[in-house]
Amino acid sequence: MYDRADALHQQFLERVDNKKLPNISTKFSLSNLSLQSEDLLALFESQCYSRHMDFMARKLKSQGRGYYTIGSSGHEGNAAIARAFQVTDMAFLHYRSGAFMFERARKIAGINYTRDILLSLMASDQDPMAGGRHKVFGSLALNVPPQTSTIASHLPKAVGMAFSLRLVKELQLKSKLPNDSVVLCSFGDASVNHASALSAFNTASWICHGHFPLPIVFICEDNGLGISVPTPSDWIEKQFSSKPFLHYLSCNGCDVLDVYACAKAAEKIARQRHEPVFMHMHTERYLGHAGTDIESNYRSLQDIKSAEEKDPLLYTAAYLINFIDKDAIIQRYKNIGEIIEKEEEILMDTKCLDTAKKIMHSIIPPKVKKYKLLKKDRQACFGEDYALLERPRTLAQNINHTLTDLMLEYQNIIVLGEDVGKAGGVYHVTANLQKRFGPARVLDTLLDETSILGTAIGMAHNGLLPMPEIQFLAYYHNAEDQIRGEAATLPFFSQGQFTNPMVLRIPSFAYQKGFGGHFHNDNSISVLRDLPGVIVLCPSHPQNAPGLYREAMRLAQDERRLVIILEPIALYAQKDLLQQGDGGWLHPYNQVHEAYEAVGTVGEGGILLITYGNGHLLARQAQAQLHSEQGLTIQVMDLRCLAPLPMETILKYCKGKKNILIVDEGRRSGSLSEGLMANLMESLDPLPSIERITGEDCFIPLGDQWQCLLPSKDAIIKQIRQWS
């Protein structure tokens, strides 16, 4: 098949020259849309910039100087959406949004978006958004967070951002956007079938059912293809035209004025009525899915040509020819191609990131101005619990007290999750928080982990400090891409210009004495430990928990970090250390803002036990028994930071030890202990004897059988006795 890019280019020139243009609708005119001929010409230019940029992307790829060829050809009607909405309307965009970006860039003086997108295509270190890490549509000035994977994973956070607009106003906090802003979210027709999309649409309806404002416009750019798989022609309409609480609007995406009229109708509903809209934009897709896509394998040449006859640029030319002659239209089109060629020549010697250090620099976002803590009436807030703060408390109680103090100090903290409000959480860790701070700050959500995390990410875009809860560690896997693919990558692909700080709490691990089986006793955390830039913390004792949570909140607020806290369920209500009734695992609530320590130790000796979570209790019990029975002196290390591992501190305690035992309740494969073993063996000289006790590579069963699979006090004692 001959070059479709050249065919598309030549078709435009010939049909405009011969005035063989599409029949345009008579129901649209510039005057009834409150547009001028200059506005139409600007839209045409934005469409032309997008089209020629697609041509340039393929040229750069053929020269080995470009690395991305998913284009916007056929979708150029979305320029009209950018014209219809304000630059302060945050947009989470589809990867075929080139014309939208060029049109929106017109609204801010000084932006050379032609150069910006060329730099992005070339993976240049001068790319102002991603710095050469990925080709993205994104701009801080244009309120477009970068998206690298638009298979619907961005829809849940768009809902969260829209939800935050009214929430911020209600809480009298400063919003990053005007209060009357609207959120835009575009995606392809195939993406609506993705679980993340269904989660977002359902959450939007759920929010509106509760009579809460949600000013969002979902924009489905329907070209009828998911790469090679056809979307049934009536699928989108039948799915969404009658969906409750969602206004369905439809337009011909090839006709720029039809798109504009539809976008203005959507804007009115979203901005004035604060209700969600589903804007169904029928488009065509040209040049295949991407440059590597051999479209002829699944589409006939006749089908491809028939689609190309509906070229959006030809539709716009059909309107324009009433104001300027055909030669002027052709010349404008050619001039834009020449402008892009000249910009490409200027960037001929641009360089890519060339060291690991440079590439990794943006994983950790820049710090911001230190948050000013507020002093509130603690006694009034705590109520009857205030008199109990100095009594010995459990881990769950001290976490609750810490959350209360933090919410008093940080007025932008929003706690959200299933059952966290009235019920106070499954384990009552968030008990009374909604009573103390109200339902606007402690939100009971629907049962959907994707929507919980996505909403939290969106809230963070608007200056809130979300603290979502995933009810059990196993449930996190239902929505892990919201953290892996969205939250964790945002600062990396925006050079820290966009961040989504949060503190995610997850009741975790096993040792629950037979309750719940594998869904409530997940002991695997490998999926969390390999997320670049994400901090994973784990409290094990009520004494050090307050400092850990305060540090987590400081990291999120002042350093814009994403922090995950794994809370050992089995230790929530633990009272005793060695024998029933000794109260050895209780501790009064530490109300002093003490320094946080990533590693804590108890005791001294030539044997070191390294552990975390439930292992801390087991290690302390083994330590006491071995000292009592054999006089052995053992040091127990409690790891409170599981990622990144604080190896410098760990190694400091390891030096001089004869024996090191790692007690890891995770599975043997993919566990924390694997990383620890590798680090210790690479760093210690001379190398002590190092062993590990882990969970088995098995799911946790129901009943007492769990004891066969997990580390125990007896197993620890047995290993140490082998050394002694």
Whole-number mean pLDDT of the chain?
94
pTM exceeds cut of 0.75: yes
| Segment 270-275 mean pLDDT | 97
- pLDDT score recorded for residue 690: 97
- pLDDT score recorded for residue 2: 60
Q: Is the pLDDT of residue 699 over 70?
A: yes
- pLDDT score recorded for residue 514: 73
Strands (E) in 391-434, as ranges, are 413-417
Residue-wise pLDDT tens digits, 17-66: 999 999 988 888 899 999 999 999 999 999 999 999 999 999 999 999 99
- pLDDT score recorded for residue 1: 45
Residue-wise pLDDT tens digits, 67-126: 999 999 999 999 999 999 999 999 999 999 999 999 999 999 999 999 999 999 999 999
- pLDDT score recorded for residue 375: 63
DSSP letters, 161-199, are HHHHHHHHHHTTPPPSS-TT--EEEEEETGGGGSHHHHH
Reported as a pLDDT band with limits 50, 70 and 90, residue 414 is: very high
Q: How far is it, in rounded angstroms, from Cα 672 to Cα 690?
A: 14
Question: 109, exposed or middle or buried, with CB in 10 Å at 0-12, 13-18, 19+?
Answer: exposed
Q: Is the pLDDT of residue 16 over 70?
A: yes
Reported as a pLDDT band with limits 50, 70 and 90, residue 585 is: very high
Q: Is the pLDDT of residue 517 over 80?
A: no
Residue-wise pLDDT tens digits, 340-361: 999 999 999 999 999 999 999 9
253 vs 704, residue with greater confidence: 253
Reported as a pLDDT band with limits 50, 70 and 90, residue 593 is: confident
Domains of the chain with CATH codes? 10-350 (3.40.50.970), 378-571 (3.40.50.970), 599-723 (3.40.50.920)
| Interaxial angle between packed helices 98-105 and 113-121, expressed in degrees from 0 to 180 and rounded to the nearest 10 | 140
Q: Distance between terminal CA atoms of the chain?
A: 77
Percent of the chain with pLDDT over 90: 90
Q: Is the pLDDT of residue 420 over 90?
A: yes
Residue-wise pLDDT tens digits, 519-547: 788 899 999 999 999 999 999 999 999 99
SS (H, E, C) 74-125: CCHHHHHHHHHCCCCCCEECCCCCHHHHHHHHCCCCCCCHHHHHHHHHCCEC
Residue-wise pLDDT tens digits, 199-235: 999 999 999 999 999 999 999 999 999 999 999 999 9
104 vs 375, residue with greater confidence: 104
